[in-house]
Amino acid sequence: MAGVVEYLYDGYKYLFEDLVHPLSKDYFLVSHPLKIISILVAYNFFCLRLGPWFMKDRKPYDLKNVIKIYNIFQILVSLYIFYVGSVYIFNKDFDFRCSPVDDPTSERAAMIVPNVYIFFVVKLIDLLDTVFFVLRKSFRQITPLHVHHHTMMPLASWFGLTYFPGGQSVLIGHVNALVHAIMYSYYLIAGLGEEYKKYLWWKKYLTMMQLVQFCIFIIQATLSLFYDCGFPIFLKMMTIIYAATFINLFGRFYYNSYVKPNKSNSVQNGNSKVKTAKVH
C-alpha cells in the first residue's frame, strides 16, 4: 500500500512540478491544478445554481458604469496582448508552419511567458461576463455554449501556460486577443445607449470572427503536423480537436441565430405573397 501511495505521489510531483515550465512555475495559480479547477467549479456553481437562487426575489443590479469600465479594460489589455504577440510572431525566429517552445533562458521566452500569463489571467477575468449576466438577471444569455466556452478557455490557457508557454501556441492567444478587443468594443458601444444601436449592424460578424479564428487554429495545427520542430504532436492534435469542437458549437449558434430565422422569414413572406395573389 505504501508503495502505491509513493508511486502516486511521485507521479503527481512529476506532472505538476517537474514538467512545469521553469518560467511559469512561480506564477500565481500555475502548476498544481486544484486551484484552477476550484475556481471553475465555483464559477459554474454560482452561475447555474447559487446566483439564480440569490437573484430570484431581487431586482436586477444596475451595473452599466461598472460594465463600461470592464469593457474598456478588456479592450486595452487585449490590445496589449495582441501587440506583444505581434512582436513575438512577426520575427524571423517564428515559423507559422511549426514553431517550438523557446529555450527558457532566451530573451524571447522572457518576453512571451509574462504575456501568456496575462492572457491566462484575462481568461479568468472573463468569467465576470457571466457573473454580470446573473446580477442583471439576464439569464437568457447564460447559454450552454457561453458557460462551456468560459470554462474551457481558462483551463486550456492554464495548461498552455504551465507546460508550453511559447512557440506556435502563442498564435492562439494572439488571434484570440484581437477578436476579444473587437468583441468588447461592440459591447462598449452597445452599452452607450439606444442612439448608438444604429452602429451595431455588424453583430453577426462577431460570431463569424470566432469561427474564423478557430479555422486559423486548425489550419496552423494541421500544417504543423507535417513538420517536426519539437512542438509536441499531441498538443497539435488537441488544438485541432478543441478548435473543431468550438466550430461546431459556434456554427450551430450562428445557424440558429442568423440563418434559420432568415429562412423562416423567407417562407412566411412567400406564403404572404401567395395569399395576396389569391385575393387579387
Q: Which residues belong to the active site?
A: 149
Alpha carbon distance 198, 252 (integer Å): 26
CB contact set of 103 (below 8 Å; sequence gap of 6+): 109
Concatenated DSSP letters of 59-122 = PPP--HHHHHHHHHHHHHHHHHHHHHHHHHHSSTT--SS--PPPPTTSHHHHHHHHHHHHHHHH
CA within 13 Å, CB half, 111: 16
Distance separating alpha carbons of residues 184 and 128, to the nearest angstrom: 13
Asked if residue 169 lies in contact with residue 95, where contact means CB atoms within 8 angstroms, the answer is no
Distance from the Cα of residue 59 to its chain's centroid: 30
**Which residues have CB under 8 Å from 111's CB, separation 6+?**
84, 87, 88
End-to-end CA distance of the chain: 89
Extract the C-alpha cell encoding 225. Answer: 503536423
Under 8 Å between Cβ of 204 and 258:
yes
Residues contacting 280, CB < 8 A, separation 6+: none
Q: From CA 109, how far away is CA 82, in angstroms rounded? A: 16
